[in-house]
Amino acid sequence: MRLPSLASRLLLASTLLLPLFLGLTGYALTQGFEDSLEAAEAESLQSQVYLLLGAAELEDTQLTLPDAFAEPRFSQLNSGLLALVSNQKNERIWLSESGRLYADELDLRPSSEEEALDSTLTRGRTQFTRSTLAGKPFFIFTHDVSWDVDNGQEQLFRFSIYHEQSIFLAERRAYRAQLWRWLGAAGVLLVLMQWLILRWGLRPLRFLAADLMDIESGDSEQLKGDYPEEVQQVTDNLNAVLLREQQQRERYRNSLNDLAHSLKTPLAVLRSSLGSTTQAQDSLLESQVIRMDEIIGRQLQRAITRNLAPQDKVHNVEEIAQRLGNALEKVYRDKNIEFNVDISPDCSFNGDARDLMEVLGNILENAFKYCRQTVQLRASNEALSMVMRVGDDGPGIPAALQQDILKRGARADTAQTGQGIGLSMAVEIISGYGGSLELETSELGGAEFVISLPS
Amino acid sequence: MRLLIVEDEPHLREQLTTRLQEQGYAVDAAADGRDGLFYGEEYNYDLAIIDIGLPHISGIDVIRQLREKGKSYPILILTARGAWQDKVEGLEAGADDYLVKPFHNEELSARINALLRRASGHSTPQLHFGPITLDTSAKTVSRQGTPLELTSFEYKTLEYLVMKTGATISKSELTEHLYDQDFDRDSNVIEVFIGRLRKKLDPDNSLKPISTIRGQGYLFNLKQDAH
């Protein structure tokens, strides 16, 4: 069985163990109580024997007892307390008034002797045991007494007290009921307390989870919470790992940038030195230089998008779009382009802002370059992704070329001077995020790029 | 036209300088942000080409400070990485266009032309002034459809005056913007060029395209044709 949480595991374990523990406690308490009840019973019955002994008189060899006693229950029929005196031959020689109804059964006892009671009389011996009379449970206390007869001989008698167990049983029942009620309540209380303690004790872990969630959503870069010692060790280590990872990411990005910078400048030199050689060499050199440049650009972009896990969440999609729009309006000032932005405020992008800028920049640049007068950007959140539509009123893209553009980012119009591999970079980044880029026809008449990115 | 190049890579800087000089521009070159900022503040250029990744002061800071000092000439930024973050920051700092390395020489020329044209308020490379047409992209001048034979200096003088249409340009400003600093600044040379230009543009002396404002300089006073 797989339990979802630590709390439920601990709670289940204690819920299973608690009844066992409470059961044993209850059993021990009941036993102890019963033992002390029985000891008290035995003591009380012994004092009854002493009462009888005090009242008994031996005349010749005959033992006589009075009819009335200080203990009224001996005289009451069915009082539940009866006294019996028997002789060495186990013959009944006296029975209290209260035991009259049991007389026959008592007389039969020697034959149906219970093993618990030793029927041989031994001077001074007391026995305490249980038995039944007429189907009712009784305690029996016996005391064997020897009486000195005149001629120096002694005569043995057994004084037996029978006491019905009904009071004892009722008391025990009440005790047990009370005990189990208390133990049950204690059990419920313990489980509840345990649940509260668990919640309290595991609270730092819940905070940790929330803290980690913040990092994942990009709201924070480190675990900030103040944690108990045990957890703090984990969070300190996690923070160290995060920091190292961030630094490594930064170093990685920097070294990639350096690589790009250091490779691109010599390429620029190579390219601008063209013209000093023959035409054929020029075009060969140039085509190779362009190829190298594109390879570097593409590989760099791929490395950046593949290896850098998106940690930031970009909420200011509109701001990025506006900055790009302003920049492009400046560059294409001569065309007097009308740039319309409609971005719903809930738009967000789950990734690096720089990547979003790269994607949007390249696609917007394309639209600004090819449009006649108007470029429009609309963005809204749909299901789990942000969908951005960049449309223009330019000539549009012939169907035959559309697939090529989406695949390699090749420029459809090679007549217009331009540079770089903007669209293919955009495609690369978008696919790195598991998004998609599609081409449609804009309501403005030109091309419309539909970008879907995870939000 | 006088250009400033701020580029830290020596080969690229030299190549650019040579190329642009060949195209008839007067060029100053600086190797880092500090020098670039000094040149940019000290002289009035017609255009500056500034690399973003510069030692000492970044290209973006150079641009920002130049703009804060009131320098309004067009600025073209060069970026090696081509990241939009750089382009947008550069444009926000005050640049007017960007070019990603490596680039075609033709692309660079086209951008420079476009920026210069735009700065002069002209939107197309062909400028028409009645019978006279100036093609700033091909760097040719024609009169009633017939190409005129102008020397490079004559063309540059005319182009500068045209770009500053309506403003009186002193001889010293012309020298400063047309020729490299080591040029012998003999103002008679300018007078000679202006005289030749007048003859070539206006042989029958009916248009009077260039007026002399005594003691101040020259003024190109033809109006551009409405499209």
- Residues B81-129 have pLDDT tens digits of 778 989 999 999 999 999 988 888 888 999 999 899 888 877 677 888 8
The verdict on residue A48 lying in a domain is yes
Least confident of A397-401, A447-451, B7-11: A397-401
Q: How large is the average pLDDT for residues B172-200?
A: 78
- A301 occurs within a structural domain: no
Are A261 and B118 within 8 A, CB to CB?
no
Q: Which one-letter amino acid corresponds to residue A325?
A: G
Ramachandran bin of A420, using left for φ above 0, alpha for ψ from -120 to 50, beta for the remaining angles: left
* pLDDT at residue A112 is higher than 60: no
Query: Which of A269, A294, A296 to probe by mutation at the B interface, max B CB count within 10 Å?
Result: A269
| Per-residue model confidence (pLDDT) at position A275 | 64
Positive/negative CA dihedral, A272, B109, A401, A336: positive
This model of the complex carries an ipTM of: 0.74
CA distance B171 to B173: 5
Whether residue A225 is contained in a domain is answered as no
Percentage above 70 pLDDT, chain B: 95
Strands (E), B109-207: 126-129, 132-135, 140-143, 146-147, 168-169
pLDDT for res A141 = 92
Of these ranges, A122-126, A162-166, B3-7, the one predicted with the greatest mean pLDDT is: B3-7
Mean pLDDT of all residues in B182-195: 74
Give the model's confidence band at A299: pLDDT under 50 very low, under 70 low, under 90 confident, else very high: low
Least confident of A122-131, A387-396, B180-189, B218-227: B180-189
Please answer whether residues A422 and A366 qualify as being in contact, where contact means their C-beta atoms are separated by less than 8 angstroms: yes
Query: What confidence score (pLDDT) does residue A108 get?
Result: 64
Q: What number of helices (H) and strands (E) belong to chain A?
A: 9, 12
Give pLDDT, residue A251: 74
Would an 8 Å CB–CB cutoff place A414 in contact with chain B?
A: no
Answer whether residue B64 shows pLDDT above 90: yes
Mean pLDDT, residues A106-121: 62
For residues A108 and A429, which has the higher predicted lDDT (pLDDT)?
Answer: A429
pLDDT at A412: 41
Q: What CATH number corresponds to the domain at position A353?
A: 3.30.565.10
Structure tokens at B223: 């109006």
A334 to B104: CB separation less than 8 angstroms, yes or no? no
Residue A417 has pLDDT above 70, yes or no: no
d(CA A53, CA A324): 118
Query: Six-digit token pair at A451?
Result: 């970008």
Task: Tell me, yes or no, whether A118 lies in a domain.
Answer: yes
The answer to whether A418 and A369 are in contact (CB under 8 A) is yes
Cα angle B38, B42, B45; round to 5 = 105
> For residues A241 and A118, which has the higher predicted lDDT (pLDDT)?
A241
Residue A183 has pLDDT above 80, yes or no: yes
A405 within a domain of the structure (yes/no): yes
Mean pLDDT, rounded, for A54-65: 81
Q: Is residue A273 part of a domain?
A: no
Instruction: Count CA atoms within 13 Å of residue B8 on its CB side.
Output: 16
Domain C-terminal end among A171, A187, A212: A171
Cβ pair B114:A334 closer than 8 A:
yes
The tally of CA atoms less than 13 A away on the side-chain side of residue B45 is 32
Residue A351 has pLDDT above 50, yes or no: yes
| CA gyration radius, chain B | 18
How large a percentage of chain A has pLDDT more than 90? 22
Residues of B in contact with A333 (CB under 8 A): 96, 118
Which one of A152, A171, A190 terminates a domain? A171
**Cα-based torsion angle of the residue sequence B34, B35, B37, B41 in order, rounded to the nearest 10 degrees:** 140
Average pLDDT over chain B reads 88
Q: A395 touching B, CB under 8 A? A: no
Is A333's Cβ below 8 Å from some Cβ in B?
yes
- The dihedral built from the CA positions of residue B12, B18, B21 and B22, taken in this order, carries a sign that is negative
Q: Has residue A438 got a pLDDT over 70?
A: yes
Q: Report which of A112, A107, A104, A105 is spatially closest to residue A89, judged by C-alpha positions.
A: A107
Partners of A345 in beta bridges: none
What's the token pair of residue A315? 């909420």
- Give the integer Cα–Cα distance in Å for B130 and B138: 19
Q: B98: nearest CA in chain A?
A: A331
Number of domain units in chain A = 2
Q: Where are the beta strands (DSSP E) in A74-226?
A: 81-87, 92-95, 126-133, 136-148, 154-164
Contact A321, A444 (CB under 8 A): no
Q: Is B84 touching A (CB cutoff 8 A)?
A: yes
Which of A252-256, A320-324, B170-174 is predicted with the least confidence, judged by mean pLDDT?
A252-256
Q: pLDDT tens for residues A208-247? A: 888 888 888 877 888 887 888 888 888 888 888 888 888 7
Q: Does B49 touch chain A (CB under 8 A)?
A: no
Is residue B197 within 8 Å of B148, Cβ to Cβ?
Answer: no
- Name every chain B residue with its beta carbon within 8 A of the beta carbon of A257: 81
CB distance A91 to A109 below 8 Å: no
In-domain check, residue A366: yes
> Is A349 in a helix, a strand, or coil?
strand
> In terms of residue numbers, what domain contains A46?
24-171
CA–CA distance, A60 with B14 (Å, rounded to integer): 153
Distance (Å, rounded) from C-alpha B205 to C-alpha A187? 118
Distance from CA of A209 to the nearest CA of B (A): 34
pLDDT at B59 over 90: yes
Q: Which of A126, A146, A171 is the last residue of a domain?
A: A171
- Tell me how close the Cα of A302 comes to any Cα of chain B, in angstroms: 14
**Highest mean pLDDT pick, A66-75, A279-288, A333-342:** A333-342
Mean pLDDT over residues A351-380, rounded?
A: 90
d(CA B164, CA B218) in angstroms, rounded, equals 10
pLDDT band at A436 (very low <50, low <70, confident <90, very high): confident
β-bridge mates for residue B2, sequence order: B26
pLDDT at A100 over 60: yes
Give residue B9's pLDDT. 87
Contact A260 B87 (CB under 8 A): no
What CATH number did the domain enclosing A102 receive? Answer: 3.30.450
Min mean pLDDT across A168-172, B27-31, B163-167 is at B163-167
Residue A409 scores a pLDDT above 60: no
**What's the whole-number mean pLDDT along residues B132-136?**
88
Nearest Cα neighbor of A384 from A434, A429, A341 is: A434
* Residue A267 belongs to a domain: no
Q: Which residue has the higher pLDDT, A116 or B155?
A: B155
Name A145's bridge partners.
Answer: A157
**Best mean pLDDT range from A128-137, A297-306, A362-371, B113-122:** A362-371
